[in-house]
Amino acid sequence: MLNLIRKYNVQGPRYTSYPTVPYWDISAFSGKAWKETLQKSFVESNDKDGVSLYIHLPFCESMCTFCGCHKRITKRHEVEIPYISSVLKEWALYCDLFEEKPRIKELHLGGGTPTFFSPQHLEMLLKGIFRRAEIAEGHEFSFEGHPNNTTREHLQTLYDLGFKRVSFGVQDYSDKVQRAIHRVQPFENVKNVTEWSREIGYTSVGHDLIFGLPHQKIEDIEVTISKTRELLPDRLAFYSYAHVPWLKGIGQRGFKDEDLPGAEEKRRQYEFGKKLLTEAGYFEIGMDHFALKSDSLYKSFETQNLHRNFMGYTSSRTQLMIGLGASSISDSWYSFAQNVKSIEEYQHLVENDIIPIYRGHILTEEDLVIRRHILNLMCRLETSWEDPSLKFDELDLVLDHLKEMEIDGLIDTNYNQLNVTEAGRPFVRNVCMAFDLLLHRKAPEKRVFSMTI
């Protein structure tokens, strides 16, 4: 195993999209082309599957120094109302592009910290969104709550608005690690929010854990998972810490590179964590994600209906996802588009009736085929090119890249099918990289991705 880790621990994408953001062809992108693909996707899917909405709420009261998300640290809650007005305005700009009301199948509030906003303001935001939409049957609404500031009122208000899923950022329970990442968060807080969610009626409560954090040791993983077992969340993200200090405005600091566990230690932490989680009844449904068998994510995995997009793994498979808010990414299946990251610029553009996109990518025929293979691998750990629509010109090149992985026992291939083996699961990002034709054609010039292990 150690040899494999040394061999395959390279920089690599996490494949929440294909093409990955650094490979978007920005020169071929235009607002006009984006709107056309968006409208086409809407017509094809609104009546059938409904649409997904992602709303980015970027504020946090305090900076966690491990965090790779787009956020603004502030204690000034006056920012809430103007931001909500801009999101509603942006939503109106989108709705005006469509002939009929969007049917919302999936809605996710992410951040930043959605629970930075008061329950009343979140209600104002959501009622404003719903005013211009219909809610699809079997809808799935979810949000990210911070255990230190989620109140019972937040949970009740959002539940009454149709939210049945919540995930809480836990990361690690050790004091030493919590201090290093500047996120002191007592177990009591996590226990309270988890129990309140259950009492109110949430059907899926998730916790986010991370391994590979500064000063984190295998003993900390053991303590964290044993505390997690006490609360038994329905699903768990067990993320590999992504160290990306070169990204502007992220603020990963407050610890030294030497404080981070090395790749081999990190892999041991993952293997150990996975063993403990399996003993506790969790099933690994995809990269970094575990669920109890009673959770809808597990059921989607079993029925091969798992989907992956910028929100991570989801159980609904919608074709169109509209991202609202600063830095959000939209996905029409045929194209991606990202909003400006600066909150001021975002608000300024929206107030001037401009959809605040600043970059994107229109997928080529080849991208669309590769995208399906990468989704199959990430969601089902297998792919096949038996169906002629899944064949592509450079398949032989991809198979060449996969030869060594087959010799190393990470995958099995036969005539027109590939399966990732149990031993290959930790290397699924590497398997996807073999299919990533854009990466083969041009290696990144500087560090843009975290390490695969």
Q: Is 209 in the site for ligand SF4 (CB under 6 A)?
A: no
Give the one entry of ligand SF4, ligand SAM, none that residue 55 binds, where binding means its C-beta sits below a cut-off of 5 to 8 angstroms depending on kind: none
Q: Is 273 in the site for ligand SAM (CB under 6 A)?
A: no
Output the smallest distance, CB 305 to ligand SAM, in A.
Answer: 24
Q: Is 169 in the site for ligand SF4 (CB under 6 A)?
A: yes
Q: Is 146 in the site for ligand SF4 (CB under 6 A)?
A: yes
* Candidate ranges 62-70, 235-243, 281-289, 399-407; the one touching ligand SF4 (CB under 6 A): 62-70
Q: Is 60 in the site for ligand SF4 (CB under 6 A)?
A: yes
From the number of C-beta atoms within 10 Å of its C-beta (0-12, 13-18, 19+), residue 113 rates as buried
Q: Is 146 in the site for ligand SAM (CB under 6 A)?
A: yes
Q: Which of 24, 22, 15, 38 is nearest to 321 (CA)?
A: 38
Scan residues 46-65 and list those touching ligand SAM (CB under 6 A). Answer: 60
Distance CA 313, CA 274 (A): 18
Residue 354's contacts (CB-CB under 8 Å, 6 or more residues apart) are 93
Interaction mask 95-124, ligand SF4, x per CB under 6 A: ----------------xxx-----------
Output the smallest distance, CB 317 to ligand SAM, in A.
Answer: 22
Q: Is 67 in the site for ligand SF4 (CB under 6 A)?
A: yes
Residue 260's contacts (CB-CB under 8 Å, 6 or more residues apart) are 212, 213, 214, 241, 243
Longest CA pairwise span in the chain (Å): 61
Q: Is 221 in the site for ligand SF4 (CB under 6 A)?
A: no
The DSSP annotation for 101-148 comes to --EEEEEEEEES-GGGS-HHHHHHHHHHHHHT-EEEEEEEEEEEE-TT
Output the smallest distance, CB 223 to ligand SF4, in A.
Answer: 20
| Distance from the Cα of residue 333 to its chain's centroid | 16
* Candidate ranges 58-66, 339-347, 433-441, 444-452; the one touching ligand SF4 (CB under 6 A): 58-66
Scan residues 183-212 and list those touching ligand SAM (CB under 6 A). Answer: 208, 210
Alpha helices in 162-286 (DSSP H): 175-180, 187-200, 218-231, 263-279
* Candidate ranges 56-64, 271-279, 296-304, 388-396; the one touching ligand SF4 (CB under 6 A): 56-64
* Candidate ranges 73-81, 106-114, 129-137, 264-272; the one touching ligand SAM (CB under 6 A): 106-114
Total residues contacting ligand SF4 by CB under 6 A comes to 11
Among 83, 239, 298, 449, binds ligand SAM (CB under 6 A): 239
Q: Are 150 and 189 in contact (CB under 8 A)?
A: no
Distance CA 432, CA 420 (A): 10
Q: Which residues of this protein are in contact with ligand SAM, per CB under 6 A?
A: 60, 66-69, 110-111, 113, 144, 146, 169, 171, 208, 210, 239, 241-242
